[in-house]
């Protein structure tokens, strides 16, 4: 014959089983329910559910119930430390009804939170016989002792908690695989996956969702490496043009003459090398979107032609008389201060006003640290696939180093940093030293001879490019890769900034 309390216990178990089967996602809520029921039915005054951290070196309090629950959460235990640590280390359940005289008890925590433990019951949570955490009950009500019967019940609850965790982990794994496949599809189509967690970026995505539906030009602004191109991709993908081409042009990558024919096409014989007719990027983008990257570098003569495309959607190929009309949405991006370029007479203000109908500023990474863990994990997965290496993740110390870095090169720099760590690390977890972070390059003030900003920037640029060229034995392809710019753009800069090989 079952006692009243046994019936209650069975009913609770059935209830919990139903929950485990229906709620895969919020494992924390589920674990809290399990711990609450176990505490109530085994008559504990307080209780905790501790989990082993990812490295397996520490137990932390995932849930702590009772009057001092929130105080205890700041502590962690090493395996072997305290009664819960003993249970984790020996993978064995115990009843301690004389805590005051038990050598394993860690008096420090009880003293600090001012909550003396008299009786305790602690059982391991196991997945495939391995201990992944501990459930402990503290002080049986009315000064009673915990019994063997309590221990057996608590073991049943602890098995259920482990089951909930297994489910949540498989769910997480399935979700990761789905994301992986989605990324693959994106990459195959030439698009990148955008990671967004910080409120400011989520807000930008919301704006993008709305502007995508229109045909207005959008100007993407922000420092180098913040993700302007990836946001341009999003605008196209979320627009009604998404099934039509998305054409990218880097306006800084080509000299003026070639850029004109690249954008607008040419007819056979238009210039010496024009051996056949060629379609320009605007024609290729017909019906879709064109993305003009580094728009600040567009030469003045082409600015006039672009203005006409924006106003009339028409242009002539280089060397042709006939006018071509296209239906293209224009997106542009720059990391330059266009208003300053206008003042210097290098950018047409009328073109700027046309492009600037919807400006979207993408903030630098240092202003949105919430994105760092997610981005780092995403890049780690990507480079694990590429390098065929396996890591568990980042150690806490590595994560802290990334969170406190100022990332002057933004997401591109973070991506490079994770790639490098993935290549060099021999650890199970990526460690702080694998990241080789210097917290931003130290740049000394260049000797310019004048206080003109543009001049100072050019002096710095020349100095920096020369240093990178030297590091790469003056191999321009390698240097361009290190600088993360196109080789053609590098050779243009070398000419413009008059950088000479020392032996020439």
Ligand X SMILES: Nc1ncnc2c1ncn2[C@@H]1O[C@H](COP(=O)(O)OP(=O)(O)OP(=O)(O)O)[C@@H](O)[C@H]1O
CB of 224 to ligand X, least distance (A): 3
Taking the least distance from each CB to ligand X, the nearer of 13 and 200 is 200
**Token output for 399:** 């994560």
Region for 295 from its dihedrals, namely left if φ exceeds 0, alpha if ψ lies in -120 to 50, beta otherwise: alpha
Instruction: Give CA–CA dist 468/279, Å, rounded.
Output: 36
Contact 331, 218 (CB under 8 A): yes
Asked if residues 315 and 281 have their Cβ atoms less than 8 Å apart, the reply is: no
Position closest to ligand X via CB: 227
335 binds, among Mg ion, ligand X, none (CB under 5 to 8 A by kind): ligand X
Smallest gap from residue 229 Cβ to Mg ion (A): 4
Tokens of 4: 């009243």
The β-bridge partners of 141 are none
Q: How far is the CB of 225 from ligand X (least distance, A)?
A: 5
- Residue 276's SS3 state is coil
Tell me how far CA of residue 175 lies from CA of 132, 165, 172, 264, in angstroms: 22, 15, 5, 44
> Which CB atom, from 408 or from 446, has the smaller least distance to ligand X?
408
Could you please report the per-residue DSSP string of 416-464? HHHHHHHHH--SSEE-GGGG---SS---PPP--SS--HHHHHHHHHHHH
Nearer to ligand X, 42 or 295 (CB): 295
Q: State how far the Cα of 481 lies from the Cα of 490, in Å rounded to an integer.
A: 10
Give the nearer residue to ligand X in terms of CB position, either 222 or 280. Answer: 222
Residue 304 or 482: the one with the smaller Cβ distance to Mg ion is 482
Question: Which residues are near ligand X by CB under 6 A?
Answer: 192-196, 222, 224-230, 333, 335, 375, 411-412, 415
Residue nearest Mg ion, CB atom distance: 229
Question: Closest distance between ligand X and the C-beta of residue 85, in Å?
Answer: 40
The strand pairing partners of 266, in sequence order, are 278, 318
The binder of 94, among Mg ion, ligand X, none, by C-beta within 5 to 8 A per type, is none
Residue 36 near which of ligand X, Mg ion, none (CB within 5-8 Å, type-dependent): none
Output the smallest distance, CB 202 to ligand X, in A: 11
**Closest separation in Å from C-beta 228 to Mg ion:** 5
**227: partner contacted, choices ligand X, Mg ion, none (Cβ within 5-8 A by kind):** ligand X
The whole-angstrom separation of Cα 190 and Cα 172 is: 27
d(CA 220, CA 211): 12
Closest to ligand X by CB, 78 or 192: 192
Q: For residues 84 and 226, which CB has a smaller minimum distance to ligand X in the complex?
A: 226
Can residue 43 be called a binding residue for Mg ion (CB under 5 A)?
Answer: no
Q: How far is the CB of 108 from ligand X (least distance, A)?
A: 43
Cβ proximity to ligand X: between 94 and 411 the closer is 411
Taking CB under 5 A as the binding criterion, the range among 140-148, 158-166, 195-203, 289-297 that sits at the site for Mg ion is: 289-297
Q: Which does 226 bind (CB under 5 to 8 A by kind): Mg ion, ligand X, none?
A: ligand X
- 223 lines the binding site for Mg ion (CB under 5 A): no
Nearer to ligand X, 140 or 204 (CB): 204
Determine how β-strand 289-293 pairs with β-strand 314-316: unpaired
Q: Give the shortest CB-370-to-ligand X separation in angstroms.
A: 12
316-328 in b/e burial notation, b at 16+ Cβ within 10 A?
A: bbbebeeebebeb
Residues 162, 255: Cα–Cα separation, whole Å? 63
| Contact call for residue 229 and Mg ion (CB under 5 A) | yes
CB of 221 vs ligand X, minimal distance in Å: 9
| Partner whose footprint covers residue 262, from Mg ion, ligand X, none (CB < 5 to 8 Å by kind) | none
DSSP state of 367: G
Q: What letter would DSSP give residue 57? A: S
Largest CA distance in the chain: 101
């Amino acid at each position: 014959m079952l006692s009243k309390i046994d019936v209650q216990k069975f009913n609770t178990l059935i209830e919990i089983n139903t929950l485990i089967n229906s709620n895969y996602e919020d494992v924390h809520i589920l674990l809290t329910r399990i711990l609450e029921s176990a505490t109530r039915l085994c008559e504990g005054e307080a209780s905790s559910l501790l989990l082993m951290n990812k490295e397996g070196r520490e137990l932390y309090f995932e849930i702590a119930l009772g009057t001092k629950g929130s105080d205890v959460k700041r502590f962690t235990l090493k395996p072997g430390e305290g009664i819960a640590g003993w249970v984790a280390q020996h993978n064995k359940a115990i009843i301690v009804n004389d805590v005051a005289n038990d050598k394993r008890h860690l008096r420090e925590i009880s003293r600090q939170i001012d909550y003396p433990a008299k009786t305790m019951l602690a059982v391991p949570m196991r997945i495939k016989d391995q201990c992944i955490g501990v459930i402990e009950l503290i002080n049986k009500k009315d000064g009673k002792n915990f019994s063997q019967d309590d221990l057996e019940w608590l073991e049943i609850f602890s098995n259920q908690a482990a089951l909930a965790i297994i489910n949540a982990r498989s769910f997480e794994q399935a979700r990761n695989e789905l994301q992986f496949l989605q990324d693959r599809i994106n990459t195959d189509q030439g698009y990148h996956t955008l990671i967004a967690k910080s409120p400011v970026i989520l807000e930008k995505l919301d704006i993008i969702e709305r502007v995508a539906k229109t045909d207005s030009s959008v100007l993407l602004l922000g420092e180098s490496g913040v993700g302007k191109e990836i946001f341009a991709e999003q605008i196209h993908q979320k627009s009604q043009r998404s099934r039509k081409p998305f054409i990218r042009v880097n306006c800084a990558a080509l000299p003026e003459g070639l850029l004109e024919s690249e954008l607008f096409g040419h007819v056979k014989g238009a210039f010496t090398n024009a051996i056949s007719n060629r379609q320009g990027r605007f024609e290729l983008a017909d019906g879709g979107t064109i993305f003009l990257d580094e728009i600040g570098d567009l030469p003045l003569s082409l600015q006039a032609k672009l203005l006409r495309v924006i106003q009339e959607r028409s242009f002539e190929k280089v060397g042709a008389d006939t006018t071509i009309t296209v239906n293209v949405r224009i997106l542009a991006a720059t990391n330059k201060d266009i208003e300053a370029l206008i003042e210097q007479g290098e950018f047409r203000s009328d073109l700027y006003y046309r492009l600037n109908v919807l400006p979207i500023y993408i903030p630098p990474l240092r202003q949105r640290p919430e994105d760092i863990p997610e981005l780092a994990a995403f890049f780690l997965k990507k480079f694990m696939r590429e390098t065929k290496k396996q890591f568990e993740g980042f150690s806490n110390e590595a994560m802290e180093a990334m969170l406190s870095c100022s990332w002057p090169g933004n997401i591109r720099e973070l991506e490079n940093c994770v790639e490098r760590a993935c290549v060099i690390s021999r650890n199970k977890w990526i460690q702080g030293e694998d990241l080789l972070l210097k917290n931003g390059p130290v740049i000394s003030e260049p000797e310019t001879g004048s206080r003109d900003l543009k001049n100072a920037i050019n002096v710095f640029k020349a100095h920096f490019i020369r240093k990178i060229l030297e590091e790469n034995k003056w191999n321009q392809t390698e240097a361009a890769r290190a600088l993360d710019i196109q080789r053609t753009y590098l050779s243009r800069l070398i000419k413009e900034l008059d950088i000479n090989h020392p032996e020439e």
